[in-house]
Amino acid sequence: MDFQWLSSFYNELVKGAGLTLQLLLISGFFGFLMAVGVALGRLSKNRFLANGLRFYTSVLRGTPLLVQIYVLYYGVGSLFATFPLIRGSMFWPYLREGFWYVAFALTLSVSAYVGEVLRGGLRAVPRGELEAGRAYGMRPWLVLRRVWMPRALQMLRPTLAGESVMLLKATALASTVAVTDLLGAANLVRAQTLRVYEPLLVVAVIYIILAILIEQGFARIGKTPQRQA
């Protein structure tokens, strides 16, 4: 094993890790916001809305994420490039970058997977707790914000931690559309140094560390210090 190349490619690995974290945070944040809407819509008494979101989640969960990224980047991205109005707009510097297509694909994926997870968690909250909130005079939105959603998130904490780790690993697909994320940086090192295994081992260790940090972060959420008598 030879790791002398680390000093020469340290900056590339750091930048790649930064892009990976950006993808994780952007898609995780906006995907979760969309997931809340998906979960509530799936529980709606409006059959059109509920069935439409059921189809949405079925399509996203039933097709490979890599295919979705390719459709957005090579399909939609190439279509945008044919319109001079779009190419000359202020948005073109973003629309021509693979990073944002990957972020959008990951966001949609999170909204579908976590949306279904949240739906199950919301349905698992005992009705008595919701009725207690209404008995205190809380309006439906306040019950959702103070009782229903916090209780569901508390029960789903281990599952959401697992979904976050899965999202972290899914960000590695960004390297397939010329985004130099963590795995993309490793591929760059491999191409320039002809070292096959060492760059991948370094990247694997970084992913493991990030996954542990995510799990530890979720484990600490919701814990309250015990009061001493």
Residue 69's CATH number = 1.10.3720.10
**Separation between Cα atoms, residue 98 and residue 73, nearest integer Å:** 6
Are 195 and 5 a contacting pair, CB within 8 Å?
Answer: yes
196-204 long-range contacts, Cβ below 8 Å, gap at least 24?
197/1, 198/1, 198/2, 198/3, 198/5, 199/5, 199/9, 201/1, 202/3, 202/6, 202/13, 203/13
Q: Which domain holds residue 35?
A: 24-176
pLDDT digits (tens, 9 = 90+) for 62-85: 999 999 999 999 999 889 988 888
pLDDT at 103 over 90: yes
pLDDT digits (tens, 9 = 90+) for 116-166: 999 999 999 988 888 888 888 888 888 888 889 999 999 999 999 999 999
Are 171 and 181 a contacting pair, CB within 8 Å?
Answer: yes
Helix (H, G, I), strand (E, B) or coil at 93: helix
Q: Where are the alpha helices (DSSP H) in 148-228?
A: 149-155, 157-170, 182-193, 198-220
**Separation between Cα atoms, residue 31 and residue 37, nearest integer Å:** 10
pLDDT interval class at 228 (50, 70, 90): very low
Are 121 and 152 a contacting pair, CB within 8 Å?
Answer: yes
Q: Is residue 19 in a domain?
A: no
Q: Is residue 207 in a domain?
A: no
Q: Is residue 130 in a domain?
A: yes
Q: Is residue 142 in a domain?
A: yes
Are 112 and 57 a contacting pair, CB within 8 Å?
Answer: yes
What sign results for the dihedral spanned by CA atoms 128, 129, 132, 137? negative
Domain count of the chain? 1
Q: Is residue 187 in a domain?
A: no
Q: Is residue 40 in a domain?
A: yes
**Separation between Cα atoms, residue 78 and residue 48, nearest integer Å:** 33
Amino acid at 74: Y
Q: What is the pTM of this model?
A: 0.91
pLDDT at 222 over 70: no
Q: Is residue 193 in a domain?
A: no
Q: Which two tokens stand for residue 125?
A: 């909250």
Which residues have C-beta within 8 Å of that of residue 2, sequence separation ≥ 6? 195, 198
Residue 223 has what pLDDT?
A: 62
